[in-house]
Structure 1
Amino acid sequence: MTVSTLTLNDGNEVPWIAFGTGTALYCKDVQHPVTLALQSGFMHLDTAQEYRNEETMGSAITTSGKPWSELFVTTKLGELQGEATPKGALEVSLSKLGLTHVNLYLVHHPHVHIGRLKEVWKGMEEAKNAGLTKSIGVSNFTVDHLREILEVATIPPAVNQIEVQPYILKALQPNFALHKQHNIVTAAFGGLSPLFRGKGGPLDPVVENIRVRLERTRGAPVSDSQVLIKFLQQRDILVVTTSSKMERMQEYLDTENVPDLTPEEIQEIEGAGAQLHRRFFALAARITQWCTSRLQRDDNLKCRLRRQNPCLADAI
């Protein structure tokens, strides 16, 4: 199966859809789901130091027999302790993954680096210059966070991975504008949340009508998920998604074969999304705001994201 790619601002190519190992796969052995993803045709695998599953992802790829050169692997920088650096943290990740380099290395959360984002970004550039990653980028960054690191960046971020779905498109317009200005690819997590976590919203009937039209045009089944994934793909957004079922994985990949949405259908989705503002992954944004305001009063305060998952729940 051939997967289309997006061109990053450093010239590297990235598969437009990725299999993610966060959310339900936090702190779990991901060898089985990653194996299914590879068998389904996924070429882009997305993990993170915070997910605590880099090692089992590496095992899955090794046992799959697929050459590393055919895959695109993304991992993300977590919180740095003591004198740790982004380069040193990536070296640990590479050891767990069984790799000499990754394709993309992202700063996972800005809030755990508040007050030193510029320093951290220079460390990311060091990791790239050392050949440990082909591209570098960020995740969960607001416009203000991006502007802060762009002040010192000799290598601009290639990607910003954020929540993107129709109910927050209006709020994301400043992000999209800055991304476009610096040729930063927008990567989306949570793109299917309106279908699985927000049923009953104004988007539902619009997606259903479009799905029926696409099925008629294609002459084959089309799912609601494929409608929203196609919507994102047509905006040149890198889609990060996940599932435990091979048939669902294959469905997501098959979106490439679904006919394009018409300009009118794209406007209908945007219009329905504008009727309701709802984030499904708001915790990180709230903690970032809290940390920033507290640090203005206490420069020595160190903030950490507390996850509900026990193996990730560091005390603040």
Structure 2
Amino acid sequence: MISFPEKVKIKEVGPRDGLQNEAVEVPWERKVEWINLLSAAGYEYIEFSSFVHPKWIPQLKDADIVARSIDRNPGTTYAALVPNVKGLRKALDNGVDEVAVFMSASETHNKKNINKTINETYPVLQEVITESKQEGKKVRGYISCVFGCPYEGHVPFERTAAVAKTLLKMGVDEISLGDTIGTADPKQVDLFLEYMKERVSLEHTALHFHNTNGMALANVTVALQHGITIFDASLGGLGGCPYAEGASGNLATDDLVHMLHRMGIETGINEEKLRKAAAFLEQELGKRLPSHQRQIAAKEEVG
């Protein structure tokens, strides 16, 4: 019999990774309302924004006022992505609970995304990690393009393992391994995790799938069998990477929660409140979100 974990932690990245690629800029007041709805749904972790320069991601230019205005649930960690020490200090000034840094396993994608080589990126992130630790904050490290790159194609497993090992030595508390353009398939995920577990502890490792080819939930199922219990997801399947052409939406939180609950795996998230949060966002964006749960909701509304 296949063995699955009893509980999974879902980290909601919709307010950051979901909204950053949307043409519609949601007003900060409405973002705050949406994040409050997410908090009410029972998340342990919400990545609410990114403290990057507005010219790079204008959709997130309101990170400071959003951070100051959301209702903080005592049981929820409110995290933000930061590119450098300048962004970190803004995040700290606005009460961020946890910091996320980011880089890629693909040299080309890293240059497109950060304008630096992989080796040039480490010192920048080390500054962020060191100062975050001094301020008593945990640090999460995103690694993009671990299953494939829009510029280089296949990314060798050993390169991802090397980047992960380096970030862990630098002091990150958790690694999130990203299928940035949604190219992974279940067999590849199986081989990848077998390779990684021999070189890097998977105890504090998350997986961040995109659903470009419709295989995100299948990939999650394989990861569960390897003992992975942390997954990033975006409500309704919203999102994509502005520096990775062809990257469609993230793994949909509502689809993931529905599947896990059907499998008897706890998430701590209330599905009815999740539906309410998704409906609110659809109204703000003026479109139906692509998740299966939202398509079912649309049929129910018509019926």
TM category, shorter: 0.3 to 0.5
Q: Which has the larger radius of gyration?
A: 1
- Ranked by relative contact order (alpha carbons within 8 Å, sequence separation 6 or more), the top structure is 2
TM-score, normalization: structure 2? 0.47
State the TM-score, normalizing by the size of structure 1: 0.45
